[in-house]
Amino acid sequence: MDQDPRARSGACCPNTGAGAPVRRPRRPAEETREEILNTAEKLFRTHGYASVTIADIAAELSMSPANVFKHFRTKTSLVDAIATRAIEQTLHALKALASDKPASERLAALAHHLMQEHLAEQKDAPFVFEMILVTINEELDCGDRFREIVVGMIAEIIHAGIREGVYHADDVPRLANASFDALACVIHPVMTGMEKAGIMATRCREVVGLIDAALRSPLAK
């Protein structure tokens, strides 16, 4: 019997035996980048930043490490991108906070939301704290982005308080930055990881009360 012509011409199905590489369908660069970020975040949260390599992330995605490096030059750049994405998501959540409330209530809601978010993150995913330390030690851009967002929201609240006639401020940017620094003891992720939730809640109320009282004083100008 003659040999099947498909076998002679190599037109049969491709080799799918053990060890054969899995070809990934070509995707837009942004989709690939997002998939890398999702996988890296999952592995960092599950195993810890220090324990996961670029090769581990690539293997999980069935791609080469070179393909990961094409989108993210270093492991720390992955952390920066993950943190920045989380911060942008936080911004949307913060904007959803009721804006029709008095300024003092909005300030308290902002501080409480950020504190609770960081407390929940570290409780549900202990390895998140390790990533936070990376962002601080490496002085990644995401830290500046977080400050920029929160200071901007505090400035909006101060302006609202001025319109209400309860806050007195001539230099709103300066006071917004000072308020952020005062709130750092309850909204900075490292600080929230060093104290019990009940103590943090009390501290948050007291610090917000102090900022609110200062902004109400004519001396705040």
| Sequence spans of domains, the chain | 5-73, 76-216
The residue with tokens 């008095």 is 102
Q: Is the pLDDT of residue 7 over 60?
A: no
CA distance 99 to 97: 6
CA distance 179 to 192: 17
What per-residue confidence (pLDDT) applies to 133? 81
Residue-wise pLDDT for 172-221, tens only, equals: 999 999 999 999 999 887 777 677 888 889 999 999 999 999 999 876 55
CATH topology of domain 5-73: Arc Repressor Mutant, subunit A (1.10.10)
Domain 76-216: give its CATH code: 1.10.357
Q: Report phi then psi at 116, rounded to 5.
A: -65, -35
Q: What is the average pLDDT value for the chain, to the nearest integer? A: 83
Residue-wise pLDDT for 125-182, tens only, equals: 677 778 888 888 888 888 888 899 899 999 999 999 999 999 998 899 999 999 999 9
CA distance 131 to 140: 11
CB 118 within 8 A of CB 173: no
Q: How confident is the model at residue 25 (pLDDT cuts 50, 70, 90)?
A: low
CA distance 167 to 163: 8
Taking only Cα atoms into account, the Rg of the chain, rounded to an integer number of angstroms, comes to: 25
Give yes or no on whether 5-73 and 76-216 have one common fold: no
